[in-house]
Amino acid sequence: MTDPTSSFRPTTVVVTGAAGFIGSNLVRWLLAHESELQVIAYDLLTYAGNLESLGDVERAHGPDGDGRYAFIQGDIRDGRLVGDLLAGRLREPRTGSVLAPPDAVLHLAAESHVDRSILGPAAFVSTNVEGTLVLLEGVRHELAARPRPFRFVNVSTDEVYGSLGADDAPFTEQHALRPNSPYSASKAGADCLVRAYVETFGLPCLTTRCSNNYGPYQFPEKLIPLMVTRALADEPLPVFGDGQNVRDWLHVEDHASAIWAVCTRGELRDETYNIGGESEVRNLDVVHTILDALGKPQSLIRFVPDRLGHDRRYAMDITRVRTSLAWEPRREFREGLASTVAWYVENREWWRRVQSEAYRATNALYLGSAAS
């Protein structure tokens, strides 16, 4: 197990993709659990980025709160802006105060919806591969100019490993990369760039590969929020194929704690850590549970043609992160799903404001032609 006395303790972190689902939950978790930490949220605010997801964070930790949080709107492909961010040349938009140069980047910014990647692969390559390259180059030049202890954590996905058979052992970090969609291929490309920058330039990078996340503030084009919001409106629930695809479900707050464990205690020589919830559930069973929780009829389910290249099963072996970092998931899936469904019931105004884009995509992709 890693010696806690040798832990890396950043004082200022940048979270890219901070207004997205995992990013906003990570920002909130960091500020709640690290009382001295400064967090710079960086996001382009595309369709899946929503500043309302950070409204409570802004009030508690922005300029009118304890001052530990700042938001910068920007593109990870903007090399000049990324360079200014890393060098500490940017100012907090409201107060004008100079933001400290970070000593860690938690990189979550990505195009992430598999179905959209099938319709338009180029955007995924541009953001996920080119954007990661720009960030890596920015870190490389910044550390050459101003050397300091630093960590770059690349947050990736189990989908880079491809698909498992029903009786296959879970993915380990030694599994070959066998991506089956443009999305997962673009994430695998980013992972390979990160590894190359470690080997070629000695950059202090780590990669995490997570299983399917769920929890509050998830854009309602993904499976769980899509099913909840449509069921609440008594609308058809599109389920791919036979619904027997299996996913390993990880609560987003558990994921946040794992990212921080890897950032602060991860060994650079290990490079990659699998993060999973150890909760394998069939998609159709997830939908049945949601309908039962909402008191809605199972007849709302509509089976639709299967996704192209649809991976049958994902499962993660988390032995490395459990034994070396003493991390393991805390949220049991059934309880976590119940609390997530309740969150969407109680926060209708949040998802109704982003519903039009999610439903436009849903109708175009599934109901007139279904979510990872």
Q: Is the pLDDT of residue 4 over 50?
A: no
Distance in angstroms (rounded) separating the CA atoms of residues 84 and 19? 20
Mean pLDDT, rounded, of the chain: 93
Q: Is 322 exposed, middle or buried (0-12, 13-18, 19+ CB in 10 A)?
A: middle
Q: Is the pLDDT of residue 286 over 70?
A: yes
Query: Using alpha carbons only, what angle is made at residue 160 by residues 46 and 86, rounded to the nearest 5 degrees?
Result: 50
Q: Identify the pLDDT of residue 358.
A: 60
Distance in angstroms (rounded) separating the CA atoms of residues 265 and 318? 16
Q: For residue 154, which of 134, 176, 132 has the smallest C-alpha distance?
A: 132
Asked if residues 236 and 230 have their Cβ atoms less than 8 Å apart, the reply is yes
Task: Look at 7-11, 53-57, 269-273, 368-372 and tell me which has the smallest mean pLDDT.
Answer: 368-372
Is there a catalytic annotation at residue 158?
yes
CA gyration radius, the chain = 20
Q: What is the pLDDT of residues 107-118, one digit of tens each?
A: 999 998 787 888
Read off the pLDDT band of 359 (50, 70, 90): low
Q: Is the pLDDT of residue 350 over 50?
A: yes
Contacts 24+ apart (CB under 8 A), 51-55: 51/19, 52/350, 52/353, 53/19, 53/20, 53/21, 53/24, 53/217, 53/350, 54/18, 54/19, 54/24, 54/27, 54/28
Q: Identify the pLDDT of residue 372.
A: 52
Q: Is the pLDDT of residue 315 over 60?
A: yes
Q: Specify the higher pLDDT residue, 48 or 38.
A: 38
Q: Identify the pLDDT of residue 369.
A: 47
Strands 69-73 and 151-157: unpaired
Q: Specify the higher pLDDT residue, 222 or 1.
A: 222
Distance in angstroms (rounded) separating the CA atoms of residues 71 and 90? 11
Read off the pLDDT band of 72 (50, 70, 90): very high
CA distances from 319 to 111, 160, 195, 209, 327 (A): 28, 19, 21, 13, 10
Q: What is the pLDDT of residues 39-71, one digit of tens each?
A: 999 999 988 889 999 999 999 999 999 999 999
Q: Is the pLDDT of residue 8 over 80?
A: yes
Distance in angstroms (rounded) separating the CA atoms of residues 363 and 113? 15
Q: Identify the pLDDT of residue 308.
A: 79
- Which of the residues 42, 69, 161, 183 is marked catalytic? 183
Q: Identify the pLDDT of residue 127.
A: 96
Q: Specify the higher pLDDT residue, 176 or 117.
A: 176
Where would I find the beta strands (DSSP E) of the chain? 12-16, 38-43, 69-73, 104-107, 151-157, 205-210, 212-214, 237-240, 246-251, 272-275, 280-282, 301-304
Rounded mean pLDDT of 3-16? 81
Distance in angstroms (rounded) separating the CA atoms of residues 15 and 11? 13
Q: Specify the higher pLDDT residue, 300 or 305.
A: 300
Sign of the CA dihedral running 273, 277, 282, 287: negative
Q: Identify the pLDDT of residue 270.
A: 83
Q: Identify the pLDDT of residue 357.
A: 64
- Which of the residues 58, 103, 111, 159 is marked catalytic? 159
Give the pair of three-digit tokens for residue 120.
């338009």
Rounded mean pLDDT of 30-40? 98
Q: Is the pLDDT of residue 128 over 80?
A: yes
Distance in angstroms (rounded) separating the CA atoms of residues 165 and 7? 38
Q: Identify the pLDDT of residue 178.
A: 96
Number of Cβ within a 10 Å radius of residue 75: 18
Q: What is the pLDDT of residues 129-158, one digit of tens each?
A: 999 999 999 999 999 999 999 999 999 999
Distance in angstroms (rounded) separating the CA atoms of residues 275 and 208? 7
- Which of the residues 43, 111, 158, 191 is marked catalytic? 158
Q: Is the pLDDT of residue 364 over 80?
A: no
Q: What percent of the chain has pLDDT over 70?
A: 94
Q: Is the pLDDT of residue 3 over 90?
A: no
